[in-house]
Structure 1
Amino acid sequence: MKTYHQSCYGLKEIEAETIDALITDPPYGISFKGHYWDKDLPNPAIWADALRVLKPGAFGLVFSSIRLQHRLTVQLEDAGFMIKDVLLWGFLNGMPKSRDVGLEIDKSLGVKSEKVGEYKYVQGYKKDTDTTYYAGEAKAIQAPASELGKKYRGFGNGIKPAYEPIILIQKPFDGKVADNIIRHGVGGLNLEETRLPYSADDGKVGHNPHPVGRVMANILRDEEFGDGYDKFFLVPKVRQAKDAFNSHPTLKPTHLMRHLIKLLTVQGQTVLDPFMGSGSTGVAALETGRDFIGYELEEEYFRIAQRRFAAAQKEVAELS
Structure 2
Amino acid sequence: MQNIDYWIYNQSSYGLAELADNSISALVTDPPYGISFQNSYWDRDLPDKQIWTDSLRVLKSGGFGLVFSSIRLMHRLMVSLEDSGFLIKDVLFWAYLNGMPKSRDIALDIDKELGVESKVVGQYTYVQGYKKGGAEDYYAKEGKNKHEPTSKTALKYKGAGLGIKPAYEPIILIQKPLEKGLTVAKNIIKHQVGALNLEETRIPYEEGEGKVGHNPHPKGRVTANILRTEELNDGYDKFFLVPKVRQHAEDFNIHPTKKPTHLMSHLVKLVSFEGQTVLDPFMGSGSTGVACIENNRQFIGYELDKTYFDIAQKRLEIAKHQFVC
Which of the five TM-score ranges fits, normalised by the shorter chain? over 0.9
1:111 deviates by: 1.1
Residue aligning to 1:97: 102
Could you tell me the TM-score, scaled by structure 1's length?
A: 0.94
1:136 deviates by: 4.8
Residue aligning to 1:161: 166
| Partner SS, residue 303 of structure 1 | helix
Distance in 2 separating the partners of 1:75 and 1:291:
27
- Picking from 274, 288, 293, the partner of 1:286 is 293
| Partner SS, residue 99 of structure 1 | coil
**Higher RCO (CA 8 Å, separation ≥ 6 residues):** 2
Residue aligning to 2:67: 62
- Residues 233-282 of structure 1 show CA distances to partners (whole Å, capped at 9, x for unaligned) of 00110023432111100000000011111111111000000000000000
Residue aligning to 1:314: 321
- Is residue 260 of structure 1 aligned with residue 267 of structure 2? yes
Gaps of 5+ in 2: 1-5, 132-139
1:125 deviates by: 11
- Matched AA of 1:56: S
- Is residue 48 of structure 1 aligned with residue 58 of structure 2? no
Residue aligning to 1:211: 218
Structure-to-structure mapping, 1:133-172, within 5 angstroms? 136-172=141-177
Residue aligning to 2:198: 191
Does the aligned pair in 2 maintain the 1:124–1:241 contact within 8 Å?
no
- Is residue 82 of structure 1 aligned with residue 82 of structure 2? no
**RMSD between aligned residues:** 1.6
Q: Do the aligned partners of residues 82 and 8 (structure 1) sit closer, same or farther apart at CA in structure 2, a change above 3 Å counting?
A: same
Q: Do the aligned partners of residues 229 and 106 (structure 1) sit closer, same or farther apart at CA in structure 2, a change above 3 Å counting?
A: farther
- Is residue 298 of structure 1 aligned with residue 312 of structure 2? no
**Count of residues in Structure 1 that have an aligned counterpart in Structure 2:** 310
Could you tell me the TM-score, scaled by structure 2's length?
A: 0.92
Structure-to-structure mapping, 1:18-29, within 5 angstroms? 18-29=23-34
Structure-to-structure mapping, 1:94-133, within 5 angstroms? 94-123=99-128
Gaps of 5+ in 1: 127-134
- Matched AA of 1:232: F
Distance in 2 separating the partners of 1:84 and 1:119:
44
- Is residue 72 of structure 1 aligned with residue 77 of structure 2? yes
Distance in 2 separating the partners of 1:45 and 1:266:
27
- Residues 174-232 of structure 1 show CA distances to partners (whole Å, capped at 9, x for unaligned) of 12101100100000000000000011243211111111100000000012244545610
- Residues 25-49 of structure 1 show CA distances to partners (whole Å, capped at 9, x for unaligned) of 0000000000011000001000000
1:81 deviates by: 0.3
Does the aligned pair in 2 maintain the 1:240–1:249 contact within 8 Å?
no
- Residues 289-313 of structure 1 show CA distances to partners (whole Å, capped at 9, x for unaligned) of 0000000000000000011011101
Does the aligned pair in 1 maintain the 2:284–2:312 contact within 8 Å?
yes
Distance in 2 separating the partners of 1:113 and 1:19:
57
User: Percent of aligned pairs with the same residue?
Assistant: 66
Q: Do the aligned partners of residues 316 and 125 (structure 1) sit closer, same or farther apart at CA in structure 2, a change above 3 Å counting?
A: farther
